[in-house]
Structure 1
Amino acid sequence: MFASRGEEPSTRLQLARLSLCRFRNYDQITLCPQAPILVLTGENGSGKTNLLEAISLLTPGRGLRGAPLGQFGQNGSTHWGIASHMLVDGETMELGTGLQPGADTPRRIFLLNGKPLRNQNTWENPLAAVWLTPQMDRLFSESTSGRRRFLDRLVMAAYPHHARELAAYDRAMSQRNRLLQTRSNEQVWLSGLEAAMARHGVSVAAARNETVRQINLYAQQDMDAFPAVQVRLLCAIADRLEHTPALQVEDWLKEQLAASRTVDREKERSSLGVHKSDFQLTDLKKNLSAALASTGQQKSLLIGLILAHARLVRDHRGTAPLLLLDEPLVHLDEQRRLSLQKILQNFQSTVLITGTDRAPFAPLQGHAQFATLRQGAFLSIC
């Protein structure tokens, strides 16, 4: 990603073509970036974020909006699809996703080089994406669940299997909650579900722990005008894993879940587990928590975190992630706007960046391709 002296060059990842069919506000459109950076401009509602979302759906998870399947198709269509052509150090890689035709229940299918895969979490490919959206500007003033989803996306970019562990944990927790309400005397069944929650929960907490530890190593130094940051995971299970073997933590969690059955039945939800985790983000030098920072400071801290995470993904996977930045200049002062655009010029994979006007991106002239969108179509590309 950010090349510097003494570093081994990472594999270069280029988005060569992206084709959408009946996706969001697009009927059919094909994009072929001709530069490492693509700047998408246009009025609100023109489809800029939809293009970024389509790319994000080629990676593990539910994309940058976390939307349900029924929202992707144009005018409710179930016949939508996303196809891409990637170049990994010049080698071709084809990735695609869409809805499975003829299925009774909507289900996404995935293609890698023309071959169907059972699910996206089994992909063994170098594709990862890191993104920043305007909704993240409220990350530290809104719900714990939003921050937890954000953290899990960071984990999945480095460890794709994390999505599978999260899904397995959620299934076991949902079944336990339901069983407590309907057949709470089924002790053996409950014990089995609690064992599954403990097993997958410890795996989830361990992956979060490791990702946070590595991000903090990468984020110890300022990155141009963006501050050094520190992430602190708030999770009782993760805390125990710091000084207790994983199998012992599993046993402890099973005991805690069994002891809380009466309380959980009354509350109709599980009161303990990794679904309660949170994290704090702090300016390392100023010792300023993001929760107490101004909007502009929060945005700077968040970008510092995203850039550090992108370096982690590059080194962990051997390939820099695609970088998807939706309205990133909003709330930034002039110095940091210039700094971000300077940093992007040395990124080692395709960068897509959006804004309503082209003027603020003048520093990228000569380094980027510019495209203007209007109502799901390209008005101009240069």
Structure 2
Amino acid sequence: MTLARLSLTDFRNHAAAELVAAPGLVALHGDNGVGKTNILEAISLLAPGRGLRRAPLSDMVRDGAAGGFAVFAEVQPDAALPPVALGTGIEPAHPKRRIVRINGAAAAATALGDWLAILWLTPAMDRLFVETAGNRRRFLDRLVLALDPRHAQHGNRYEAAMRARGKLLTDLAGADRQWLASLEAQLAEHGAAIDAARQRALAALSAELAGQPDAPFARPLLTLVDAGGAPRDAPWTAEALRELFAERRRIDAAAGRATAGPHRDDLAAIHAASGRGAARCSTGEQKAMLLSLVLAHSDCVARARAQRPVLLLDEVAAHLDPMRRAALYERLAGQGGQAWLTGTEAALFEDMPGPVTRFRIAGGRIAPG
């Protein structure tokens, strides 16, 4: 997949911007604060979910604008096929409702995943392995979504059923037992689908990583674990989840939340070369493992969907030594697809193998170069 054209209207600091890019590497350079990451964030909204910053929609509207924003892209699935038009944004009258259009027709945000897979790595993710389990679950689910666009629908329905069950459990004695059982059946159905998709994605990713060397990027060993840190050896079945939720009604009512299930699982990683847990590794090793993981996952997506995901790599080059930077560029250029990279200096991208689309961002303007 290639983003052939990207247009932004009143998005963050960009009043009106248009970028035309070719397949291959896309380099965005400019001083801090000029809006490079904002462009990557806009692209990330062309996939299901809340984007790479997970920001409220209202925060994305340019200061001084009327209250809405728009992101539009022409996506080229194949040189022999016509481009697909993807658009998203909000209107001033409905600032909390995201609008999605595909080829001009209204669509659900989850439908974006059928057309475009997007992966990203940002400086905010550098400490993923020492942050909360929730952050790692969201990261894992983003990887799964690129392989299985239906994953978002199962996640949305699971969360909706979990919220509805939580409301019933606030008055367990007076709760409608039939309705409660129905909600738990929905939780079990979608929870089992979520878990199965995660297990498949991790198996494919682990196989891809196993065939890669430990250098120049650190190779992680990945495991799905439960809330207590024990490996999840067997997948959840719908029947097992129904029994689990029914057995834990009183526990969950007292806790005010569902205390067990796929929404409590975590992603564990070990540095393959040293055997240390990722949380105990240096910041540089953690970043290298993340980069290795994202690159391997790109290969998984290409294998599964017969098309490369669009990669968004924010300020990655600045934190790599020249040898690893050159290796990254060579790998990105060699694998095909399209990767968007940001950096403060044009010199960071001078040695990129072609083809390269270059943009300079300064003074609120985006220009080739």
Shared fold, TM over 0.5: yes
Q: What is aligned with 1:4?
A: none
In terms of mean alpha carbon deviation, does 336-345 or 159-168 score higher? 336-345
Aligned-partner SS, 1:279: strand
Query: 5 Å matches for 1:269-288?
Result: 269-288=257-276
Shift of 1:172: 0.9
| Distance in 2, Cα, partners of 1:262 & 1:321 | 44
Shift of 1:18: 0.4
Equivalent residue pairs, number: 363
Matched, 1:148 2:141: no
Aligned-partner SS, 2:335: coil
Shift of 1:161: 0.8
Give the conservation status (yes or no) of the 8 Å contact 1:206–1:238: no
Q: Which amino acid aligns with 1:215?
A: L
Give the counterpart of 1:173 among 143, 159, 162. 162
| Distance in 2, Cα, partners of 1:356 & 1:179 | 52
Shift of 1:197: 1.2
Matched, 1:112 2:102: yes
Give the conservation status (yes or no) of the 8 Å contact 1:137–1:299: yes
| Distance in 1, Cα, partners of 2:200 & 2:343 | 34
Shift of 1:267: 1.4
In terms of mean alpha carbon deviation, does 91-100 or 258-267 score higher? 91-100
Aligned-partner SS, 1:219: helix
Q: State the TM-score, normalized to the length of structure 2.
A: 0.91
Matched, 1:162 2:151: yes
Q: What is aligned with 1:333?
A: 321
Shift of 1:67: 1.8
Q: What is aligned with 2:219?
A: 228
In terms of mean alpha carbon deviation, does 316-325 or 86-95 score higher? 86-95
Give the conservation status (yes or no) of the 8 Å contact 1:221–1:227: no
| Distance in 2, Cα, partners of 1:171 & 1:158 | 23
Q: What is aligned with 2:9?
A: 21
Are the structure 2 counterparts of residues 36 and 163 from structure 1 closer, same or farther at C-alpha, using a change threshold of 3 Å?
same
Percent pairwise identity: 36
Q: State the TM-score, normalized to the length of structure 1.
A: 0.88
Structure 1 segments unaligned to the other structure (5+ residues) = 1-12
Aligned-partner SS, 1:92: coil
In terms of mean alpha carbon deviation, does 28-37 or 193-202 score higher? 28-37
Give the counterpart of 2:342 among 348, 354, 360. 354
Matched, 1:314 2:302: yes
Give the counterpart of 2:84 among 83, 94, 100. 94
In terms of mean alpha carbon deviation, does 22-31 or 77-86 score higher? 77-86
Q: What is aligned with 1:203?
A: 193
Q: Which amino acid aligns with 2:140?
A: L
Q: What is aligned with 1:381?
A: 368
Structure 2 segments unaligned to the other structure (5+ residues) = none
Shift of 1:155: 0.4
